[in-house]
Amino acid sequence: MTILVTGARGNVGRRVLERLHAAGHPLRASGRTPAELSVPAGVDTARLDLNGPDTFEAALRGVDKVFLYAESDGAKEFFAAAAEAGVRHVVLLSSSTVGGQDAASDPLAQHHAAVEDALLASALPGTVLRPGAFAGNAFGWSDAIRTGKPVELPYADAHTAPVHEDDIADVAVAALAGEAHLGRTLTLTGPESLTFREQLAVLGELLGREVPVRELTRDEAVERMGRFVPEPVLTSLLSQWAAAVGKPAGTTGTVQDLTGRPGRTFRQWAGENLGAFAAQD
């Protein structure tokens, strides 16, 4: 009765792994380079490249549940191999963009939708998690804040409802626990809508100093972010943020429903991670 956790060193995957391990489940942690995985003692590891069908059979042997990252190339083959191995529940980490108004023209949404569709078309029982923006995206501001430079970003007044990665992991573990959530698609948000500027103000308040913000034009953002963000992802993000300026993000009760407690706030996330933003002596 082994649970396979893919992306076991990812922000969400490693949290899922920790929780399942603490609950005593037999586990297999996977990644493309298993030597780079840091797993609790006794946890089995496997090489799994979701784009590489030749790695599927060994990684899935003896597995009955899977926590899965969305990789569209190879998804159909992965679900076929999982069904063959006897898997009876897949919890897929997808994205709220799939349910967005612009999903049909959004490359990020299309990438996740392709995996959702492949899961649906397979014979496998599944639960789809569609989180919105992660609270941890704020780490992208840490270098500027730590060194006292203005945080430069486009669409500073765009709203998101940042969801704490611990809440995504808690929901994933609750979904994996039984059969109550089979066949469901769950959209996850944090408990409140905040603009990027408001998130930065929370960080500044906790740090006890002002965090200056310089708003970039779209062209400036394309020039800077395009150096490290793939073009389809950048296009998707900029369109989402442009549409979210001055428009509070909707929130869902998924975290409360599955865990029995409210979702963690961005302030809580910021407090837990303040060290990454504090100036170093």
Ligand X SMILES: NC(=O)c1ccc[n+]([C@@H]2O[C@H](COP(=O)([O-])OP(=O)(O)OC[C@H]3O[C@@H](n4cnc5c(N)ncnc54)[C@H](OP(=O)(O)O)[C@@H]3O)[C@@H](O)[C@H]2O)c1
Binding mask 183-212 for ligand X (x = CB under 6 A): ------------------------------
138 part of the interface to ligand X, by CB under 6 A: no
Provide φ and ψ at 70, rounded to 5°: -85, 110
The distance from CA 178 to its chain's CA centroid, rounded to whole angstroms, is 22
13 part of the interface to ligand X, by CB under 6 A: yes
Phi-psi region of 122 (alpha: psi -120 to 50; beta: other; left: phi over 0): beta
C-beta closer to ligand X: residue 4 or 211: 4
Please give the size of the binding site for ligand X, defined by CB under 6 A: 23
C-beta closer to ligand X: residue 76 or 212: 76
C-beta closer to ligand X: residue 13 or 126: 13
Binds ligand X by CB under 6 A, chosen from 134, 141, 241, 277: 134
Provide the b/e sequence for 48-74 (b: ≥16 CB within 10 Å): bbbeeeebbeebbeebbbbbbbbbbeb
6 part of the interface to ligand X, by CB under 6 A: yes
Which range in 63-71, 143-151, 240-248, 263-271 contacts ligand X by CB under 6 A? 63-71
SS3 270: helix
Nearest-approach distance from CB 141 to ligand X, in angstroms = 14
Binds ligand X by CB under 6 A, chosen from 20, 27, 48, 68: 48
Q: With the CA atoms of 70, 71, 76 and 80 taken in that order, what torsion angle do they form, in degrees rounded to the nearest 10?
A: -70
Nearest-approach distance from CB 140 to ligand X, in angstroms = 10
C-beta closer to ligand X: residue 103 or 212: 103
31 part of the interface to ligand X, by CB under 6 A: yes
Provide φ and ψ at 130, rounded to 5°: -115, 85
Nearest-approach distance from CB 231 to ligand X, in angstroms = 15
Question: What's the rounded Cα separation, in Å, for the pair 135 and 189?
Answer: 10
70 part of the interface to ligand X, by CB under 6 A: yes
Provide φ and ψ at 80, rounded to 5°: -65, -45
Check: CB of residue 95 under 8 Å from CB of residue 53: no
Binds ligand X by CB under 6 A, chosen from 3, 39, 63, 69: 69
65 part of the interface to ligand X, by CB under 6 A: no
Residue whose structure tokens are 């396979």? 4
Which range in 127-135, 151-159, 205-213, 249-257 contacts ligand X by CB under 6 A? 127-135
Residue whose structure tokens are 């060994």? 58
25 part of the interface to ligand X, by CB under 6 A: no
C-beta closer to ligand X: residue 106 or 219: 106
Question: What's the rounded Cα separation, in Å, for the pair 88 and 59?
Answer: 15
Q: Which of residues 81-100 bind ligand X (CB under 6 A)?
A: 93, 95
Binds ligand X by CB under 6 A, chosen from 49, 116, 166, 167: 49
Q: Where are the beta strands (DSSP E) in the chain?
A: 2-5, 27-31, 44-47, 63-69, 89-93, 126-131, 151-154, 159-160, 185-188, 194-195, 213-216
Give me the residues that bind ligand X (CB under 6 A), please.
Answer: 6-7, 9-13, 31-33, 48-51, 69-71, 93, 95, 131, 133-134, 137
